[in-house]
């Protein structure tokens, strides 16, 4: 998931550093916070509890959700503190599936829930499409790029396969390449992960645009790409992705 890094100095798409660069020939998208958002925390906890054979009233689910998000939820804010016994798997969470699971299940286990198996059930919600919501403009924007002949890659710091999510949403055919940190051994903002995505799409970095929501995504400028950073919206809302489509129009 997103790293805390100082952003480079992004070059504005319409600025002098981009004279002659546009139109964009390929678009790279971040996943979480850009194309999709994790489900509402209360719904997350309630659904996981049901999977464990427990039913929570909204009040208890809300209290637990607040505690679990504070402890550290995948797709949510970074934890205020990572316990010492989880430090190693936390550092490797986006490079190895076992570390990703161990880190977030371990953080959930620091919260007393009185529901056996809840920590694992909470993590399992991430692995299915039901635990996420694409933004309201995701499908339309991907379709517009496909119609314009602009290839698309999804570039994500993540410890599990997100391809089944796109298949469940009917969007898989609109993505030409998935470049996932745990598969390529590189995490954003490392320039190598952006270059790998450009190579997969067959486009020069100087003709590609990275769209994301964090300084780690803006790190693409160090690999020669342009970067468009959009603040992450709430689940199911419009997230400003039309801007990426507009920049890619020939």
Q: What is the pLDDT of residue 249?
A: 65
Domains of the chain: residue spans and CATH: 16-35+135-248 (3.40.50.1000), 39-131 (no CATH)
Can you tell me which residue has the tokens 């790029």?
Answer: 145
pLDDT tens for 178-197 read 999 999 999 999 999 999 99
Please tell me the predicted confidence (pLDDT) of residue 75: 82
Please state, in angstroms and rounded to a whole number, the distance separating the CA atoms of residues 211 and 83.
32
51-65, 116-130, 236-250: least confidently modelled range? 236-250
Q: Picking from 13-22, 116-125, 159-168, which range would have the lowest pLDDT averaged per residue? A: 13-22
Please report which confidence band the pLDDT of residue 207 belongs to, taking 50, 70 and 90 as the band edges: very high
Q: What is the pLDDT of residue 250?
A: 54
User: What span, in angstroms and rounded, lies between the C-alpha atoms of 60 and 218?
Assistant: 39
Computed over every residue of the chain, the mean pLDDT equals: 90
Reported as a pLDDT band with limits 50, 70 and 90, residue 77 is: confident
Task: Supply the pTM of this predicted model.
Answer: 0.88
Dig out the tokens for 100 from the structure: 């990703």
pLDDT tier at 13, thresholds 50, 70, 90: very low
The pLDDT score that the predictor gives to residue 72 is 94
pLDDT digit string (tens) for 18-76? Answer: 444 557 899 999 999 999 999 999 999 999 999 999 999 999 999 999 999 999 998 88
Q: Where do the DSSP E strands lie in the chain? A: 26-29, 36-38, 132-134, 152-156, 177-180, 208-212, 226-229
Give the per-residue pLDDT at 78.
87
Listed in order, strand segments (DSSP E) in 164-241 are 177-180, 208-212, 226-229
Q: Are 27 and 152 spatial neighbours (Cβ–Cβ below 8 Å)?
A: yes
20 CB-near residues (< 8 Å, 6+ apart): none
């Amino acid at each position: 998931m997103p790293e805390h890094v100082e952003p480079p100095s992004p070059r504005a798409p319409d600025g002098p550093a981009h004279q002659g660069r546009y139109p964009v020939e390929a678009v790279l998208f971040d996943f979480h916070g850009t194309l999709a958002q994790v489900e509402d925390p209360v719904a997350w906890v309630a659904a996981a509890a049901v999977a464990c054979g427990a039913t929570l009233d909204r009040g208890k689910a809300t209290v637990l959700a607040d505690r679990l998000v504070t402890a550290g939820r995948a797709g949510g804010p970074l934890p205020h503190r990572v316990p010492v016994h989880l430090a190693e798997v936390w550092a490797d969470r986006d490079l190895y599936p076992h570390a990703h699971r161990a880190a977030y299940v371990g953080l959930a286990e620091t919260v007393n829930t009185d529901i056996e198996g809840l920590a694992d059930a909470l993590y399992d919600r991430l692995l299915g499409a039901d635990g996420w919501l694409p933004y309201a403009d995701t499908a339309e924007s991907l379709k517009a790029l496909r119609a314009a002949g602009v290839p698309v890659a999804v570039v994500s710091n993540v410890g599990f396969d997100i391809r089944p999510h796109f298949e469940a949403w009917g969007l898989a055919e609109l993505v030409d390449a998935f470049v996932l940190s745990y598969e390529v051994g590189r995490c954003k903002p490392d320039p190598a992960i952006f270059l790998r995505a450009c190579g997969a799409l067959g486009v020069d970095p100087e003709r590609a645009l990275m769209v994301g929501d964090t300084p780690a995504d803006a790190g693409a400028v160090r690999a020669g790409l342009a970067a468009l950073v959009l603040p992450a919206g709430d689940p199911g809302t419009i997230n400003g992705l039309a801007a990426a489509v507009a920049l890619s129009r020939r």
